[in-house]
Structure 1
Amino acid sequence: MSVNPIPVHPGGAGSATGGRMKSSAQDKQRLAEHPVSLRRVAALFRPHLGSVIAVMLLIVASSVIGLAQPFIVRELIDDAIPHSNIRLLLAGAGGLVLIALITAVLEVVQTWRATLMGQRVMHRLRTGLFTHLQKQSLGFFTNSRSGDVQSRLINDVGQMQSVITNSATSIASNLTTVVATAVAMVAISWKLSLISLIVFPPAILLAKQTAKLRRAVTGKRQREMSNLTSLIEERLSISGVRLSKVMGTGPADAQAFTESSHKLIDLEMKSALAGRWRMATMSIIFAAIPAVLYLAAGLPVTGDGMSIGTLVAFTGLQAGIFRPVMGLMQLSVQWVSAMALFSRVFEYLDTDQELPVASNPVKVDPARISGEVELREVSFRYPQATKSTLEKLNLRLPAGTMTAVVGATGSGKSTLGSLLPRLLDPTSGQVLLDGIDLKDYDQQGIASAVSVVAQESYLLHDTVRANLLWAAPEATEEQLWRALEAAQIADLIRSLPLGLETEVGQRGHRFSGGEQQRLAIARTMLREPKVLVLDEATSALDTVTEALVQQALDELAVGRTTLLIAHRLSTVMRADHIVVLEDGKIAESGTYGELVALGGRFWRLVQNSELAVRAS
């Protein structure tokens, strides 16, 4: 099913914050900082205008038809029963059943249409938000808690579904019911209608006080729920569990979770009971109104010969107007809350793309691209950093050659490696692939031409086959095994009882670090990239495993333009060219022999053993 893109509006966005609801003042402040126009909200429903009209008509029809019931009751009590009018009695009884049947069918159809419309709107919004977030740079996710991102994508969008299918239809239904019921009450007895008005002033006051209480408590509850979600995501991930066991923080983590869960119990109770006494008082007031009406009907001054059927019909209408009136009393509160919810989701949609897409991107033809990379006057500075990580870097990587980048920690090696696959954009300067700026390429094309093998390999919690096909969905069985052979891991996979159908576990932790690396290398081989970034891919491995992985990497690098970021002399010596970075600048460059003969920074790195670990 095709998905229409959600309109993304330009504008800044703040960092993610926990919790959907805050206090009324905070919601209003959010809307002041990140306003939501009615036109933009309405645009979500424009493709479903027919459904909106159909739902509204069903609501009106259901409310109007349901109001025929008290008039039928009046006729039954005043005429059919006292006069034993069998025909009228049967017609009235049949009419009551028919009204119940019709309104029930209309409500089911209305719920179906409203829910379907809401789900489609949410599907479009959810997929649009997911796609937009995918286009953000690594910096966005580095500065955002994953729990907050998940909360906005799942919880906030899910609660917007409630706003659309429940709140919106409830408001329309309540408004229609109140207006129609009020008209019917006046038609039956204008005197009793005036007496009923005494309930509205206290109802309005109590409803507003109750809404304020509930909003304050709900804000705290949502923030605590977001905190609990983040604790689960961080502490129960495979990395979190491993760290917890190594550091012995299991009891402390359990205590933190227990405290947060205990707070949530208290907040859930307060949320459930907030304003209940006020609402109970309101219910008593509404329940007392029939007594006043009976009294008024019996007095000569106000009763004026009122029939019993009129009184029963009117009290039925008066009792039925209570709930929709209370719903409308909270309309302003619901409106601000709903707009604040839209604001949170639109805030992410409005986040400026740090990696903008060219209006007419250049398509990458894998068969024709050579893989030559050039950096021209490239500088990069991280947000809030006091100085640049890279500064006016000029570097050329000829097609099919291997260039090694070495330097002390913090010299800018990994940042340089992130520029080639366009995980980051330079602050200034250009990164060129075959003479064309990466910013002018289609992002999918860059992904097909440039691949990265990093120190930490990420594998899906799925089968070996699924992980390999993630890179090349059309790959044949023969191609999968050929890639595994080249990555020096085919024998291991064959020895497993399920072979390619073996589950790798969360983040691949059913395999060792070296095995994960080799699976990642096999996956990369299937993409057949022209440019390869090896970011310290063997730095965390033992000598034996390193030899296997290095053999796989050597196989992978054949015929490709390779940027090698390494700490080990055994890998650097294989490079055609070596670049020494220092404080984001190229301090030295040349072949291994040239740099050793120079006796400069590279030679000192070798002598200081920073590159000599496990040298071969």
Structure 2
Amino acid sequence: MAEAGETGRGARIAALRDLRVLLDIVPAAKRAAPLLVGLGVIASLAETAGISLIIIFLYAALGQLDDPGAIARDFGHAATSVLQTLGGPAQLAAAIFGLIVLRGIIGYIYSRISLSLGARISEIARNFIHGRYLDVSYDFVRRHKQAELMEILGTDSWTVATAYNAFTRLIINVCAIAVFAVVLLLLSWKITLIAILCAGLVSLFLARLSRPVTQLGASVKAEHQSMGGLMLMTLQGMRAIRAYGRERAQHATFLKSSASARHSLTRMERLSAAINPATEIGYLAIICLIVGGAGVLEVDFHATLTIVALLYRLRPHLQEFESNSLFLAQSAPQLRAVRNMIDPEGKTFPEPGTLAMPDDYERIAFRNVAFAYDGKQALDDVSFDIPRGQITALVGASGSGKTTIVNLLLRLYTPESGQILIGDGDIANIRRDEWLQTIAVAGQDIDLVEGTVRDNVLMARPDADQAALADAYRMSGLTDLLAGLEYGDKDWIGQQGLNLSGGERQRVGIARAILRDPGILILDEATSALDTALEARIRKVLEERFAGRTVLIITHRLETVRHVDHVIRMSEGKVLAEGPPAEVLAPLSGPSLAAMG
């Protein structure tokens, strides 16, 4: 049990530490924290004064406080001063009303500031995380599950604002408790000491009760993330699930995960629900103890009544203190996930580059380039040239390293050793946006976003006019397809373009590359799903459109590359041969490289 307690305290400390770091991105929240705490303290002072005045008012209205000596004896000299200043019951009533109005105004101001800050904190955290996903290295994103990334962005980011509110309320609770304690000490130090000791015992009991809740916070997060992964699998893998008749099995797996999430959440909520009643019963027991012991301690009835009223109003602050403290412990996993994602430590970022794209260069050269995915070698000390203004074919069986070369050219990854040169300079030193502006890629497995054909093609050049779009549609063979769609290029194509066939998706990718109008065009098995006639027509159009530009064709089919200017033959991450097609392809026979070693 001691270990569990340490875990709970450690979670609270960790949550506060992570929250402090996260608030660095929201300076307004740090600046506003003292104001919010100050408003809370003023509200507590107004509440305490109001309760005390209500008791004095009741006795004054009944004519039982006419003797100043008795007032001083029962309520203290401060009460005598108040009565002498304010006068009779009417003035007391006005003062009480004023304090109530003041507390209401302060509460309204606090709520306005707190709600506004909460929305701002959530927005900034959400925007920061989304920006991090886009500026961190592609390899970092690839290594994380999509469900985890979605959980952090869509759910955990909101926790920062809630934790901030809990933190400020926690400070206010402490200040309110201190204010009430000072007033109680002025009335009776004996009863105050008893109340503090008893409250400490109740707090210890609640801490033991809340330990499992703290531990369940991480469990609930993990279950939600697992369930989110299954949701993504169902939606993204719908075609495969139905094609292989896995609907029932997939649903059974989801039901199991959903039940597990419900079980963890129910356990946490059940334990959380027990805390408020336990707190209320504990502090009501303290009040009863004080009422019963007031005679033994020789505390006047008037002062005892005031103490009871103050303790009763103190109870919500104590309950809120326990609740906010518990929430911070529960939110520790979410805050840690957000902090880890925002923190640049342990992440790599693409080199932005500082040099302009050279206007004149002879080739793109790979020199002794090596690269591995998770320890598995993909390229092993490869060197070759891609001549400028010529058509180069990169041929090899699946797994030979062709796609890795494309990823390196797109600067999705950085070579582990060696260099990729353009002219005499490394492409990593070229300004990244300028480099990517000169490249377009169309592939076998084209990456489409959920939206319309138009949305996907315009990713290449968002400012393109309708004439440029129509030209790209025509050259890619999309015109006839769009004519048959109800809304043309504004027809919704589904998640990852699943409403389109493989060949139609490839044509969208080709149209996107054409619209880019790049100086370097990469065709990665870009026409593999097209029929022979359409493939030949599109190939001819591309050769005419990009004549004199650098074109890199990735393929394993020999019949598609015999007309090119330059061939690079690869196998298992190594370059086997490089040169004119007649020399490189002459030793080979057959239409495919599938069995080539």
Greater alpha carbon shift after TM alignment, 153-162 vs 461-470: 461-470
Deviation per CA, 1:197-256: give whole Å up to 9, x if none.
34223212212112211112333222111111110011112xx00010011110000111
Aligned residue number for residue 517 of structure 2: 528
Deviation at residue 577 of structure 1 after TM alignment:
1.0
Aligned residue number for residue 368 of structure 2: 377
Aligned residue number for residue 306 of structure 1: 301
- Give the 5 Å matches for 1:388-399: 388-399=377-388
Q: Find the aligned partners of 1:528 and 1:31 in 2 and give their Cα distance.
A: 55
Aligned residue number for residue 290 of structure 2: 293
Aligned residue number for residue 13 of structure 1: none
Q: Find the aligned partners of 2:15 and 2:404 in 1 and give their Cα distance.
A: 33
Question: Quick one: structure 1 residues 181 and 45, their matched pair in 2 at CA, closer, same or farther if it must change by over 3 Å?
Answer: farther
Aligned residue number for residue 280 of structure 2: 283
Deviation per CA, 1:146-183: give whole Å up to 9, x if none.
00111122222211221112x11211221111011111
Letter in 2 for 1:119: A
Ranges in structure 1 where 5+ consecutive residues have no aligned partner: 1-21
Q: Find the aligned partners of 2:577 and 2:364 in 1 and give their Cα distance.
A: 19
Aligned residue number for residue 155 of structure 2: 155
Aligned residue number for residue 451 of structure 2: 462
Match of 2:245 among 243, 248, 257: 248
Q: Find the aligned partners of 2:499 and 2:561 in 1 and give their Cα distance.
A: 31
Q: Find the aligned partners of 2:544 and 2:571 in 1 and give their Cα distance.
A: 30
Question: Quick one: structure 1 residues 397 and 276, their matched pair in 2 at CA, closer, same or farther if it must change by over 3 Å?
Answer: closer
Aligned residue number for residue 357 of structure 1: 351
Question: Quick one: structure 1 residues 550 and 432, their matched pair in 2 at CA, closer, same or farther if it must change by over 3 Å?
Answer: same
Question: Quick one: structure 1 residues 379 and 29, their matched pair in 2 at CA, closer, same or farther if it must change by over 3 Å?
Answer: farther
Question: Quick one: structure 1 residues 29 and 114, their matched pair in 2 at CA, closer, same or farther if it must change by over 3 Å?
Answer: closer
Greater alpha carbon shift after TM alignment, 180-189 vs 317-326: 317-326
Q: Is the 8 A contact 2:524 2:553 kept in 1?
A: yes
Letter in 2 for 1:443: R
Aligned residue number for residue 270 of structure 1: 267
- Give the 5 Å matches for 1:400-549: 400-547=389-536, 549=538
Question: Quick one: structure 1 residues 344 and 277, their matched pair in 2 at CA, closer, same or farther if it must change by over 3 Å?
Answer: closer
Deviation per CA, 1:525-552: give whole Å up to 9, x if none.
2222211221122234443554455455
Letter in 1 for 2:583: E
Q: Find the aligned partners of 1:527 and 1:356 in 2 and give their Cα distance.
A: 22
Letter in 2 for 1:357: E
Q: Find the aligned partners of 2:182 and 2:6 in 1 and give their Cα distance.
A: 37
Aligned residue number for residue 35 of structure 2: 54
1:81 matched to 2:62: yes
Deviation at residue 45 of structure 1 after TM alignment:
4.5
Q: Find the aligned partners of 1:542 and 1:581 in 2 and give their Cα distance.
A: 27
SS in 2 for 1:381: strand
SS in 1 for 2:297: helix
Q: Find the aligned partners of 2:5 and 2:298 in 1 and give their Cα distance.
A: 46
Match of 1:316 among 295, 309, 317: 309
Letter in 2 for 1:322: R
Letter in 2 for 1:234: M
Q: Find the aligned partners of 1:31 and 1:408 in 2 and give their Cα distance.
A: 55
Deviation at residue 48 of structure 1 after TM alignment:
4.5
Q: Is the 8 A contact 1:370 1:399 kept in 2?
A: yes
Question: Quick one: structure 1 residues 35 and 435, their matched pair in 2 at CA, closer, same or farther if it must change by over 3 Å?
Answer: farther
Q: Find the aligned partners of 1:211 and 1:577 in 2 and give their Cα distance.
A: 70
Q: Find the aligned partners of 1:408 and 1:215 in 2 and give their Cα distance.
A: 53
Q: Find the aligned partners of 1:141 and 1:212 in 2 and give their Cα distance.
A: 34
Question: Quick one: structure 1 residues 244 and 418, their matched pair in 2 at CA, closer, same or farther if it must change by over 3 Å?
Answer: same
Q: Find the aligned partners of 1:396 and 1:523 in 2 and give their Cα distance.
A: 26
Letter in 1 for 2:189: W
Question: Quick one: structure 1 residues 227 and 515, their matched pair in 2 at CA, closer, same or farther if it must change by over 3 Å?
Answer: same
Q: Find the aligned partners of 2:518 and 2:154 in 1 and give their Cα distance.
A: 35
SS in 1 for 2:504: helix
Q: Find the aligned partners of 1:194 and 1:31 in 2 and give their Cα distance.
A: 27
Q: Find the aligned partners of 1:279 and 1:268 in 2 and give their Cα distance.
A: 18
Aligned residue number for residue 164 of structure 1: 164
- Give the 5 Å matches for 1:126-145: 126-145=126-145
SS in 1 for 2:441: strand
How many residue pairs align between the two structures? 574
- Give the 5 Å matches for 1:62-211: 62-82=43-63, 88-165=88-165, 167-211=166-210
Q: Find the aligned partners of 2:564 and 2:423 in 1 and give their Cα distance.
A: 21
Cα RMSD (Å): 3.3
Aligned residue number for residue 15 of structure 1: none
SS in 1 for 2:560: helix
Ranges in structure 2 where 5+ consecutive residues have no aligned partner: 67-85
Deviation per CA, 1:55-106: give whole Å up to 9, x if none.
2222222222222211211221111233699984444444444333332332
Deviation at residue 337 of structure 1 after TM alignment:
5.3
Q: Is the 8 A contact 2:5 2:208 kept in 1?
A: no
Letter in 2 for 1:267: S
Letter in 2 for 1:476: D
Question: Quick one: structure 1 residues 94 and 201, their matched pair in 2 at CA, closer, same or farther if it must change by over 3 Å?
Answer: same
SS in 2 for 1:274: helix
Structure 2 length normalisation: TM-score? 0.87
